Amino acid sequence: MEQKMQEKIGRKPVRRVVIAGGGTAGWMAAAVISKILGKSLDITLVESDEIGTVGVGEATIPSLIKFHQLLELSEADVMKATQATFKLGISFENWRNVNEHYIHSFGVTGTDHWTAGFQHFWLKGRKRGLAGDFGDYCLELRAAQHGRFAHLPDGGMNYAYHLDATLYAKFLRKFSEGFGAKRVEGKIGQVLTDAATGHVAGLKLENGALVEGDLFIDCTGFRSLLLAETMGVEYEDWSHWLFNDSAIAVQTESVGEPVLLTRAIAHGAGWQWRIPLQHRVGNGHVFSSKYMDGEEARQILTNNIQGEPLTQPRVIKFKPGQRKQSWKGNVVAIGLSSGFLEPIESTSIHLIQRNLIRLMQMFPADGICRSDIDEYNTQVQSEIKHIRDFIILHYKVSNRVDTPYWEAARNMTVPASLQHRIDLFRETGRVFRTEGELFTESSWLQVMLGQGMMPEQHHQTADLMGDVELSQFLNGIRNGIEWTVKQLPSHQAYLQQYCRAQPPQPI
């Protein structure tokens, strides 16, 4: 009865939206809310120049293209403003084993039959000596290997971006302010709550200003000032599956043309990223402090960068996991305040985007209701658990046992949902994708095969093809891809023609 009474009291129209915190999450929130509902809402974003942002989310996945389309943004303008380059996938180096590499691309590999995926025909071809590498049958993967790119008709090339996250936030700030969003400078000193409902009523800034609202978007980063500290939402810790809890980041000068891949280079207790922009490179070392101390991790990073450092290395501490609720009362957490999975598959910005789209679809204009909150939280939890499993896969099925870190990862007990996928593929060669899941069957296949998993059998449909027919089928796909790749310009040439950015101004 008391809960129903509180909900009834809390059902008031939402006319004032307050976004606590800036950065990528805050300004993405401001952009989408102001663009869609700016004429009917008062939108205020509170941030302080004194508080830095994580700002290293520089690798994205193809879903960001849809986000920009929803906002009616010019792709070329975004890329120029953020010094962006194109990305066709991730190069995993030393993951399967030391000195063994593979690529997880954004493309679809081969051609499926309605009864069986392409992998079954490829497996049959490998057994008969008729097939090349699995990646030979993927356009995006082969284009990345050759350093070639262009937009193709009818979305014929799946791609994403490498971009400067700080510049991206600045670009979206200007965009949002054009649709009426207001920025208030200041540090949040106190979060005020309504005694009757328990909802957040306002933010008291250290300079004395008060910012009141009806709906609050928590973009305060790992601290999660509103959802965790004020609303008391607990954290579900996933560090028993995802060992990494630290990162060291540094920017360096470019020493060559930008590649079309995020490089993920495995080391003894973690991995290193290299993300090429038009005028610099983002670098970092993600590692487990349980298996490696910070100084050793820093030394590994500085020994494995190319080009002169442009910044001092900075340390980022995190705990992999997710808040048990992302929406409670009148607070919705977006970005790091909701949870964090390490950046191995570049999903951080995607999760910001997806949760903002969910919020817009369930926007409580006439008042917040329990059914919306429950549905939102269910969808958020479902999606991030699928992504979590995919990330754990990279560690669980590695062949590396050369360090305690990799040996522990190989021997750990994984979620039952992931173990089922591993067993299914190993025994039958089959993969599946649930509705709404981010990663496709092709993604699971590329990582499983890339990490060294080989199925025990293939589907009998592949046996209906004789050697000549199977060879013609496989060669037709591969030859078509090679012909297309040869027609593409170099990545560098295409950047210069399509979205050349001005060199950054010295500070």
As annotated, the active-site residues are: 87
Tell how far CA 423 is from the center of its chain: 26
Residues 328 and 337 sit within 8 Å (Cβ to Cβ): no
Paired tokens of 62: 């193809």
Residue pair 287/270 in contact (Cβ under 8 Å)? The answer is: yes
Cβ neighbors of 328 (< 8 A, separation 6 or more) are 227, 231, 233, 373
SS (H, E, C) 46-106: EECCCCCCCCCCCECCCHHHHHHHHCCCCHHHHHHHHCCEEECEEEEEEEEECCEEEEEEC
Beta bridge partners of residue 419, listed in sequence order: none
Q: Give the residue from 225, 201, 245 showing the smallest Cα distance to 48.
A: 225
Q: Which two tokens stand for residue 85?
A: 């380059």
Angle at alpha carbon of residue 31, lines to 156 and 209, rounded to 5°: 160
Q: CA dihedral in degrees (483, 485, 490, 496; nearest 10)? A: 100
DSSP 221: G
- Alpha-carbon distance of 272 to 286, in angstroms, equals 6
The per-type count for the chain, helices as H runs and strands as E runs, is 15, 21
Question: Is the separation of the CB atoms in 291 and 297 below 8 Å?
Answer: no
How many C-beta atoms surround the C-beta of residue 187 within 10 A?
14
Looking up tokens 């990528």 gives 24
Read out DSSP for 107-157? SPPS--BTTB-HHHHHHHHHHTT----GGGG-HHHHHHHHTB----GGG-S
Helix (H, G, I), strand (E, B) or coil at 489: coil
- Specify whether the CB–CB gap between 284 and 242 falls below 8 A: no
